[in-house]
């Protein structure tokens, strides 16, 4: 694991080109930004997911990094929001034959849904998507990748550091510095080579280091730096989620102003790259991510589809945008393998670790590691935020609900505000059954009848 030491940072960067990523801190004096309440009949797909309260700063970063003007960026976010809901509905309808979905085009205006059954093509096209018939279901690809994940702790994967399910090619991809290392991993996992596509790479990912998302915080006696991911609450306790490689349980932190801030309560790395810090009474968790001194609102945590735009905030490089390349990726650092991260085309540099990834106004994850820099470009991986929330019982701070704020009375049912739901999960609410279309943390105002972009009535 790479650590950022403030007194040696210039020499370290010059000597090693080490890639470190940072986060944001939220103080009691953090400014506020205007917010819009959800419409009385529930948010539409576009409003609920990634266009709601999207700031000018996010749109500017998308214009710079993705080559879009404002209108194109807004259309892209709206299209991605609708694509996620459509893909979720089709996933439930196709069942075992579902083989993944992705968006393409400058404005993400083409949604493709894959299936193993040609008989599903009319239903996919009727749903507004392009249909592709493939050989393997998403469940089969996920199972093959899971076997690689189980074999990795017992096999050297430093020369085969990355593997993921690639839905557009209907394969599991293994990226390797030495192809022999990839073949060794496949043999150890007992994975059929026909399922796998090998890709030669020279990249060796590393963790990136250095209560408003994207701002710096310090640890190890103030000599190392990371970034705040997303402010959260744990009951009445306020704090933030960040990367696990930034600190261990019991480690203390100070804010970007060098004022005592909090203590790591739990941390996992490698395996996953997740942690949370409980802040002291001098710090207040806000529902914002920092963008050059401006507040970018966080309104939820709906998972973005492959191909969707995503932006990152870090204390070294600020805002940069790119696209989601693959979900469910495994990457090997010197310290070990981290699984379940998302691979992106967003760049990052030393000091950005732990920082916030957003798609529109939706929290996606915290920066884990990667390769390259923001001059020449690179690849960055983030730990999805929803698993952090569910693992530690945290509630994301959003502009749609306060800390620990309960939802309206539930007239019977299993749906619960604050719970994290994955696509395909089923709940009951007011006597009716619903299926989750897109992974998210439930919030007051997003009850199943009010959020058709997130829930489908059964």
Active-site residue list = 245, 273, 353
Count each helix (H run) and each strand (E run) in the chain, helices first. 8, 28
CB-based contact 113:130 (threshold 8 Å): yes
Tokens (6 digits) for 137:
């279901």
With a CB cutoff of 8 Å and minimum separation 6, the contacts of 18 are 2, 12, 206, 350
Tokens (6 digits) for 213:
């998302």
- For residue 408, with 0-12 CB atoms within 10 Å meaning exposed, 13-18 middle and 19 or more buried, which class applies? exposed
Q: How far apart are CA 170 and CA 173, in angstroms?
A: 9
CA neighbor of 93 nearest in space, from 131, 142, 146? 131
Of all residues in the chain, what percent are helix, strand and coil, respectively (each to 5)? 25, 35, 40
Tokens (6 digits) for 336:
């070990």
With a CB cutoff of 8 Å and minimum separation 6, the contacts of 353 are 20, 21, 22, 23, 207, 208, 209, 210, 226, 227, 243, 245, 246, 314, 367, 368, 369
CA neighbor of 159 nearest in space, from 189, 200, 208? 200
């Amino acid at each position: 694991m790479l650590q950022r030491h403030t007194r040696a940072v210039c020499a370290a960067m010059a000597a090693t080109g080490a890639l470190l990523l940072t986060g944001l801190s939220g103080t009691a004096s953090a400014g506020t930004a205007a917010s819009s309440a959800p419409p009385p009949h529930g948010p539409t797909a576009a409003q609920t997911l990634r266009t709601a309260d999207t700031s000018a700063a996010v749109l500017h970063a998308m214009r710079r990094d993705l080559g879009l003007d404002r209108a194109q960026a807004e259309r892209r976010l709206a299209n991605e929001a609708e694509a996620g809901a459509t893909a979720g509905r089709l996933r439930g309808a196709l069942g075992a034959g579902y083989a993944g979905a992705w968006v393409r085009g400058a404005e993400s205006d083409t949604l493709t849904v894959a299936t193993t059954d040609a008989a599903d093509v009319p239903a996919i096209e009727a749903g507004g998507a392009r249909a592709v018939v493939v050989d393997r279901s998403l469940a089969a690809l996920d199972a093959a990748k899971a076997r690689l994940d189980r074999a990795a702790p017992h096999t050297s994967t430093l020369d085969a550091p990355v593997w993921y399910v690639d839905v557009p090619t209907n394969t599991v991809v293994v990226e390797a510095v030495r192809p022999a290392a990839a073949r060794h991993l496949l043999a150890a996992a007992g994975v059929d080579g026909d399922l796998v596509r090998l890709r030669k790479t020279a990249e060796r990912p590393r963790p990136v280091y250095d209560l408003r998302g994207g701002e710096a915080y310090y640890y190890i006696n103030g000599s190392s730096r990371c970034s705040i991911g997303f402010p959260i609450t744990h009951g009445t306790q306020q704090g933030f989620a960040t990367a696990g490689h930034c600190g261990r349980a019991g480690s203390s932190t100070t804010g970007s102003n060098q004022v005592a801030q909090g203590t790591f309560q739990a941390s996992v790395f490698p395996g996953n790259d997740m942690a949370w810090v409980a802040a002291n009474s001098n710090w207040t968790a806000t529902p914002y991510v920092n963008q050059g001194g401006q507040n970018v609102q966080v309104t939820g945590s709906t998972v973005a589809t492959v191909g969707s735009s995503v932006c990152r905030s870090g204390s070294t490089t600020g805002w940069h945008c790119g696209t989601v390349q693959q979900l469910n990726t495994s990457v090997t650092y010197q310290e070990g393998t981290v699984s379940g991260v998302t691979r992106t085309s967003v760049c990052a540099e030393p000091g950005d670790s732990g920082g916030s990834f957003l798609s529109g106004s939706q929290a996606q994850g915290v920066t884990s590691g990667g390769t390259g820099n923001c001059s020449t470009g690179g690849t960055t991986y983030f730990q999805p935020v929803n698993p952090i929330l569910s693992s530690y019982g945290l509630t994301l701070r959003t502009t749609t609900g306060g800390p620990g704020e309960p939802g309206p009375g539930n007239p019977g049912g299993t749906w619960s505000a604050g719970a994290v739901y994955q696509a395909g999960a089923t709940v009951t609410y007011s006597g009716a059954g619903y299926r989750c279309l897109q992974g998210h943390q439930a919030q007051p105002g997003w009850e199943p009848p009010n959020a058709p972009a997130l829930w489908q009535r059964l």
